């Protein structure tokens, strides 16, 4: 498969110093590796259960985003929307392999509860 990278500049960490995949976003802080960071008071490196908080974007403006790429395999998209969210998908089966190819689209809220689920069935061709 050929996967096309969708670049998100907000996730680009290449400009930051790092040690052991720990990035220093705040230049005022000391750069520590993961093992050193684990020993610091008041630092949570990971947690099994966490309570997500709603993200508020001050300069948010409604706009249309179009991803005009062929996507294959599983994908996860994180979106920020106010009031409503309108998503359109176009599914095209390549029929390279035996078996059905359903497309499942699931929209979750912050707590991981399913808000919407839809499935686009296989085209029936082999």
DSSP labels, 60-74: ---------S---S-
Confirm if 110 and 78 have CB atoms less than 8 A apart. Answer: no
Spell out the per-residue pLDDT of the chain, length 126, in tens: 455 666 666 677 888 888 887 888 888 988 998 888 888 887 766 655 666 777 778 888 888 888 888 888 888 888 888 788 888 888 888 888 888 888 899 998 888 889 999 999 888 887
Domain spans of the chain?
1-50, 56-126
pTM for the model stands at 0.53
């Amino acid at each position: 498969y050929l996967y096309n990278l969708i670049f998100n500049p907000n996730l680009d960490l290449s400009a930051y110093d790092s040690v052991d995949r720990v990035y220093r976003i705040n230049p005022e802080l000391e750069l520590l590796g993961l093992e050193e960071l684990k020993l610091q008071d008041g630092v949570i490196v990971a947690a099994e259960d966490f309570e997500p908080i709603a993200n508020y974007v001050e300069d948010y403006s409604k706009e249309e985003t179009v991803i005009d790429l062929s996507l294959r395999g599983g994908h996860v998209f994180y979106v920020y929307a106010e009031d409503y969210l309108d998503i359109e998908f176009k599914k095209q089966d390549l029929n390279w392999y035996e078996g059905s190819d359903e497309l499942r689209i699931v929209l979750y809220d912050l707590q991981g509860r399913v808000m919407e689920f839809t499935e686009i069935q296989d085209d029936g061709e082999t």
